[in-house]
Chains A and B, each alone.
Chain A
Amino acid sequence: MSTIALETVRRPARTATYAPIPLSRIVAVELRKSFDTRTGFWLVTGIGIASVLATVGVVLFAAPAQLTFSTFTLAIGFPLAVILPMIAILSVTGEWSQRTGLTTFTLVPHRGRVVLAKAFVAVSLAMVSMLGAFVVGALGNVVGARVAGVPAVWNLDVVTLFDIVLANVLVVLFGFMLGVLIRGSAGAIVAYFVYAFLMPTVTDLLAANQQWFHDLQPWVDPAIAQHELFHGALTVEQWSQLGLTSLIWLVVPLLVGLRVLLRSEVK
């Protein structure tokens, strides 16, 4: 069969030009996408529920001496540090596992802008949730002290509050990085739990038994410096350790993941 050339019938094409999609619009859409599924809705709602439950738990069960702002904030912060990275992970992996990327990346072909918007939403959610947690914690602190008949103890300064927010942002970015690197919901979530709950046990055991690792650990184990952040006021050395471990475990894998993500095939 010979190949017959298409007959060329040219008709006037519409020549309207459209304004480029601003990043702010992509951010707003990605924020909406974090809430508009049942999973997303319950994860975000779960943050509120977990905060209130944690506060009630502290009021009911903590000894009067433990009724401090710091106790409340840590109690609320713990469930947040589990839920927030899940939201970050799913916001990225859903585009692949639910295959919504086919639509997302044809409406916005510059994938980097979509990923940037997702990162922005994840970090903002983390910051807003933590500020909310401080408010709920403060209320709990006032109510708890009133119930126990002791004066409320405000033992967190602004620097520590800032450090706690930063610690949560790092935790969320870590989940985000795993989402970008692995691009599968189950894999990324498992990887996150291995990192967050299994690795510290293993590294602590190793450090307890091997002197060389004990000395090295603060410089290579991201959990150490991040843990310190939750308690505020880092030394210069601790800041450097935080910077180095974040570079190794967060920035480098994120860059590798981004490079692959931007070129990979969306199916």
Chain B
Amino acid sequence: MITIDRVTKSYGGFTAVDDVSFTAEPGRVTGFLGPNGAGKSTTMRVLVGLTAATSGRAEVCGRAFRDLPNPGREVGVLLDASAQHAGRTGREILTVAQRTMGLPEHRVEEMLSRVGLTPTEAGRRVRDYSLGMRQRLGIATALLGDPAVLILDEPANGLDPAGIRWMRDLLRGYADAGATVLLSSHLLHEIEVVADDLVVIGSGRIVAQGTKADLLRSAGTLVRTPDRGALAAALTAAGIGHAPVAGIGGADALRVEADPAYVGRVAHRADVTLVELRAAETAGLEEMFLELTAHDQREGEAA
């Protein structure tokens, strides 16, 4: 359980995080989504006590992070996989964490094989690691204490497609076992496939949050037709909201605030040919994401 309660962080006149509140529930993967510089990392640093909030409270497991007696046992944190001493070996970095948490030594080898680092790789210095290997090592450090809460900032960065798939399954498995998983990304697709709940942030403010199902439902239907004008007129006549979709390319797409069956019926009655008709999953959410964040970014530049 993670609770962020009205957290604000200002640097002089600049507000990096502006009155942000959300919770991440046990047994669910919460995706923290926003473009670069939106305040995701700052919020996560406030959560784990690396950055002091200007106002507001952040709690993990019902306590401020600094009040956890042995934080690594309760909260697994990966903020930046590159933030490691380049001169230490992967195994040594895990050993330092294992000793700090007071865990048995065999946990180190267990975690290495869990994240797929071979003994040879583990014996190499981190300066010779690819970003993907650093990411795996960072995840191993986060999982080392078998925590019930995971806080991961952009964990899929640098992973290859197989690695991303592995990470997704791992996080799903953790959440299904009852863990609270909070992960951030600036890539919608990456989050969409694994998250149960979404928190979307832009320019330091939360612009949308809810279950993925709710947010997707509000995205409606995506329909493509060679005769967009006629379909738009028929939809307007039926009292259904719709909008052209610029984000997915082609001037023939509409996003409609109704389910696909209903849109199909309207098109049929109006005798309009459809070339595609489906629930506007990715497209809808992506549209929303682009819209919300682009709007916020423009505001940010104007300010």
Query: Chain A: residues with CB nearer than 8 A to chain B?
Result: 1, 3-14, 16-21, 25-26, 28-29, 32-33, 36-40, 94, 98-103, 105-110, 263, 265-267
Contact = CB atoms under 8 A, between A and B. Distances in A.
A131 B75 CA distance: 42
B88 A18 contact: no
A36 B66 contact: no
Given A1-B207, A18-B74, A13 B61 contact: yes
13 contacts: A1-B207, A1-B208, A3-B209, A7-B211, A14-B148, A18-B68, A20-B69, A25-B102, A29-B99, A38-B87, A101-B83, A102-B80, A109-B65
B66 A109 contact: yes
Contact of B72 (A8, A9, A10, A107): A107
B96 A6 contact: no
Given A6-B210, A102-B50, A1 B288 contact: yes
B84 A39 contact: no
B88 A3 contact: no
B184 interface: no
Given A6-B211, A10-B25, 7 more contacts: A4-B214, A18-B69, A25-B100, A25-B102, A37-B87, A40-B87, A98-B83
Contact of B210 (A4, A9, A29, A32): A4
Nearest to B291: A1
Interface in B181-213: 197, 206-211
Contacts of A14: 148, 178
How many interface residues does chain B have, given as a range? 35 or more
Contacts of A8: 23, 25
B84 A98 contact: yes
A117 to B, nearest CB: 10
A99 B73 CA distance: 22
B73 A4 contact: no
Given A1-B288, A109-B68, A6 B79 contact: no
A68 B93 CA distance: 46
Contact of A100 (B73, B84, B125, B211): B84
Task: Pick the 9 closest A-B CB pairs, nearest first.
Answer: A4-B210, A37-B87, A99-B83, A109-B66, A20-B69, A18-B70, A266-B50, A102-B83, A98-B85
A117 B194 CA distance: 41
B148 A265 contact: no
B71 A106 contact: yes
A251 B267 CA distance: 80
Contacts of A18: 68-70, 73-74
A99 to B, nearest CB: 4
A111 B167 CA distance: 31
A11 B50 contact: no
B61 A99 contact: no
A9 B74 CA distance: 20
Contact of A108 (B26, B80, B100): B100
B148 A13 contact: yes
B96 A32 contact: yes
Contacts of B215: 4
A28 B96 CA distance: 10
A94 B80 contact: no
Contacts of A26: 100
Contacts of A10: 25-26
Interface in B45-104: 45, 48-52, 61, 65-66, 68-75, 77, 79-80, 82-88, 92-93, 95-97, 99-102
